[in-house]
Structure 1
């Protein structure tokens, strides 16, 4: 019980801190998405390299199989962060990514010919309406002084939405491919995590021009003393580099904590924890960074989170908990 509480606490603290730092960096240095993604990949790859090298673990899944998944993963990871460069607010970013259930269900029906219950379709419908409502409300946020500025904002904003939409469906497709890969070779999530972060690193050379500009911008950020580290209080480092390191570190802790939760608990518990975590990240972004969040935003967010809970049949679990009986659907 104590271990479960500890893991859930790590998920909340690490993941919420990660989103907070992501927004802090994006606000102070717009356009830093690629450097953020690279740092996250590099840290996970470095940690995985140490584990795989010193423990001498043999690779189970062939590199040729990983190559396909790595391309998908690289696109999804860079795309999700890169969208923040296109007038996409963090609250909208958090809510939009919750549409993964819709993408998974849609591709499941189209590619795998799966059929789902009415409850699943209803929940995905609610999520879709919620995302559309939040998206439309987010576009109404800025006040422009000229028609040209409005047109430029709309064009940039639509590019951001397009990037997130493609990333959403690519992520769902990657999940299907990963599912087939695991059914063939067995589940090896730690190995997959390592190679999916290590193999794409050379791909960042294609983004070197952008990365070099971001490095210069980070070097010019205000200096910050390392007072929080014993014996290093006299050292000062550009603030954005500290934020970047902490962002990459919390990203790793967040991912590994969710993995630990997945290995010990049901998908219901994991989805519930992750959904609540996203809600707290949303609140933190709205309250601390004072992001405009209208009544329609809240309605949309409610539909998204309620739809997510409905998708994992939370109502059945609550019914069973209160009555001690299993939930039975009435037949018409």
Structure 2
């Protein structure tokens, strides 16, 4: 939203500002409370707490930078689509094909991990009648799910504004955070519930869900 205002000189309804603020607040609450739990488990000394806090700040800074870059790319894509037409598949291809040469810088590391993957335990795939190292199976599943996700995002960029796309991506990351808390059996505290509720309210506010129900409510009142 901030980049849209600065770069494209956009203006939004008050409800949009409120919704984005609520969603940001809810995500911050959940992230901060999760970080406090990690800090309390790792160590109690001042040095350990300081080290964990620095790591947490670095992680938050990296995520924030990535979010801003993603939002900037969304604005760039929105401008390109308006000027040259909506070509989601072409954009998806070039966004992933052009950076491939950069992976040559990590060729040795990729090779070492490939060797480690080959040494992982075998997993039988009944449908194909073959056995593959389980790490390669996990990698393939990750690639497939990431493809489905990123393709959906690129299609979404052709149909919605960059702010909506950024909001959807942010909510997806929030759901991943909640899933990781549940999956790794971390405590889901009262503050996590508060953060989730705030995000939920912010999402409903952004979607202007009341516009769907208000006519029904007025119609029922008239019938009475």
TM-score by length of 2: 0.79
- What's the CA shift for 1:287? 3.2
Higher relative contact order (CA 8 A, sep 6+): 2
Which residue matches 2:137?
Answer: 242
TM-score by length of 1: 0.56
Q: Please, which runs of 5 or more residues in structure 2 have no aligned partner?
A: none
When the two chains are superposed, the root-mean-square deviation of aligned CA atoms in Å is 3.3
5 Å-filtered alignment, 1:291-302, equals 291-302=186-197
1:130 pairs with 2:29: no
Describe the superposition over 1:201-233 as per-residue Cα deviations: whole angstroms up to 9, x where unpaired: 111122334433433433333222223x24x1x
1:272 and 1:309 in contact (8 A); partners too? no
Query: Cα distance 1:277–1:321, how it changes in 2: closer, same or farther (>3 A)?
Result: farther
**In structure 1, distance between residues paired with 2:3 and 2:197:** 24
Which residue matches 1:182?
Answer: 81
Query: Cα distance 1:131–1:284, how it changes in 2: closer, same or farther (>3 A)?
Result: closer
Match of 1:153 among 22, 40, 52: 52
- What's the CA shift for 1:149? 2.8
Which residue matches 1:202?
Answer: 101
1:192 pairs with 2:87: no
Query: Cα distance 1:273–1:179, how it changes in 2: closer, same or farther (>3 A)?
Result: closer
Larger of the two Rg values belongs to structure: 2
1:308 pairs with 2:192: no
**In structure 1, distance between residues paired with 2:118 and 2:27:** 37
Question: Secondary structure of 2:37's match?
Answer: coil
**In structure 2, distance between residues paired with 1:237 and 1:152:** 40
